[in-house]
Copies of this chain bind each other. A is one copy, B any other.
């Protein structure tokens, strides 16, 4: 029921994931049962013997709801019920394009933290010419202490190893200069922790290094990470809007920009959030991925396939192991 185009996009994307993998996993659609049935029928995708079931969750947390208040007031929300299924062993992963704060809170409260994790984190993906870069924390934690940020680095390393097959992922500390002496007090303290860890720490990286792929895991406090993430998204949106406006100024320009937009799409495919689908919550006893509010069916599909992979690879177990050894 979450996201700006729910439940249509969610259902279409989910059924596509099932169809394209030939029922490789079991799909549980959680939400208002009647509406789900309607939408499945309308999608024309429910007829092919797909392995899905429906779990009714009569309440919905709106995008604008305050997470903790909404979770308390709506105990039968699709978010709470869906995550509870994992707790009960009836599901292995949860994905949602709904209220980010609510998914984060419910995941942490219901599934609990992996032993050794003080602060679960959200990682965000950035493209680079050397493959994807995972930046964390992307907004789950502010006022992080140095040891929390060490945890982010460990969790990011595990994710990058398991999901991107990076052998020994390079970890960079997001800072305002490359020298060891640069940064604010917290960053200087984190530098020392990372330098003394067993991680493949390459030192400080600057804002300009994220897209260069200098590091495969970039560590920062959620305050910075969230601002960089949202700023980057808005820059791409602004560029797209301007191209569109330019195209609207005449027929020739329109044809021109029509041809152009395909070129641009090719060039920027890996800047498209749909490719990754959503951002994972790391450090909880389970799998939970949060999608963009405006998720398209393709984004939903990719999010589900990635959640399946995270569950199969037991990311949470790997994190627990790795934290113990660090």
Q: Which residues of A contact B (CB under 8 A)?
A: 129, 139, 142-143, 174, 176, 183-185, 187, 206-212, 220-224, 226-239, 242-243, 246, 256, 260, 263, 266-268
A155 CB to closest chain B CB, in angstroms?
A: 20
Task: Report the bound CA distance from A273 to B246 in whole Å.
Answer: 22
Q: Tell whether A234 pairs with B222 under 8 Å between CB atoms, given A227-B228, A246-B267.
A: no
Q: What would 19 more interface pairs be, CB under 8 Å, given A129-B238, A206-B227, A211-B231?
A: A142-B176, A142-B183, A143-B185, A176-B222, A176-B223, A184-B223, A207-B226, A207-B230, A207-B231, A208-B230, A208-B234, A210-B231, A210-B234, A220-B227, A231-B231, A232-B235, A239-B239, A239-B268, A260-B263
Task: Report the bound CA distance from A198 to B239 in whole Å.
Answer: 35
Could you say which residues of chain B place their CB within 8 Å of the CB of A243? Answer: 267
Q: Is the CB of A233 within 8 A of B208?
A: yes
Q: Is the CB of B263 within 8 A of A139?
A: no
Q: Which residue of chain B has its CB nearest to the CB of A144?
A: B184
Q: Is the CB of A224 within 8 A of B223?
A: yes
Q: Is the CB of B224 within 8 A of A211?
A: no
Task: Report the bound CA distance from A237 to B260 in whole Å.
Answer: 19
Could you say which residues of chain B place their CB within 8 Å of the CB of A220? Answer: 227
Q: Tell whether A176 pairs with B228 under 8 Å between CB atoms, given A185-B143, A238-B211.
A: no
Q: Is the CB of B183 within 8 A of A206?
A: no
- CB < 8 Å: which of B139, B142, B208 contacts A231? B208
